[in-house]
Chains A and B, each alone.
Chain A
Amino acid sequence: SAVISQKPSRDICQRGTSLTIQCQVDSQVTMMFWYRQQPGQSLTLIATANQGSEATYESGFVIDKFPISRPNLTFSTLTVSNMSPEDSSIYLCSVSLGPPGTQYFGPGTRLLVL
């Protein structure tokens, strides 16, 4: 398993501003993932972040809105840019370890945009 931390744990932001979420893992991992989970809903994959290459975005998500950094094998950031109330959600990072596809999630960042 992996120990994953995220900062901040929660934030309240004004529309039009940007927030950068940090994800730190206690071991080196090749792939890190960023998900969004709206209240009471399922998880939607935003993008996959590989160290040394550009992130791969899922349909409906673009780099200008959700820029991602992956400077090393234990750390990644997700920025939510030019926020609107529709961006209010829980943002989770996860890593894949052990049996292929097994994912471990961070505690999440609860974002409220006013």
Chain B
Amino acid sequence: GQQVMQIPQYQHVQEGEDFTTYCNSSTTLSNIQWYKQRPGGHPVFLIQLVKSGEVKKQKRLTFQFGEAKKNSSLHITATQTTDVGTYFCAGRDDKIIFGKGTRLHILP
């Protein structure tokens, strides 16, 4: 069946360093979404990517969708303490499947 794998599971970075999380699907996706969940909070929608090779930016966040529409990445430039949380990708084939998430911890 459809699987969505996300790495790394955890990431500790110094404040100001960059951070990247990767998402890979076993099947070709119609779209991929990214969510952020703060500690104790609920997932919040960040962005959706639909087109092959698509790149979208939100301030310090850059989202990419692979050419084959089977992988995606989220890159954060110059992390800040407000970036702390778990980042989930969610790939849609015939249904939506969430990755296990990458938990980002910022060291001051």
Contacts and interface: CB of A to CB of B under 8 A. Distances in A.
B27 interface: no
Interface residues of B, number: 20
Given A42-B99, A42-B100, A45-B96, A101 B31 contact: yes
Given A99-B48, A101-B48, A103-B96, A43 B43 contact: yes
Q: Is the interface of B mostly helix, strand, loop or mixed?
A: strand
A106 B41 CA distance: 10
B95 A45 contact: yes
Interface in B61-108: 88, 90, 92, 95-96, 98-101, 103
Interface string B9-46: 00000000000000000000011010000000111110
Interface of B: 30-31, 33, 41-45, 48, 50, 88, 90, 92, 95-96, 98-101, 103
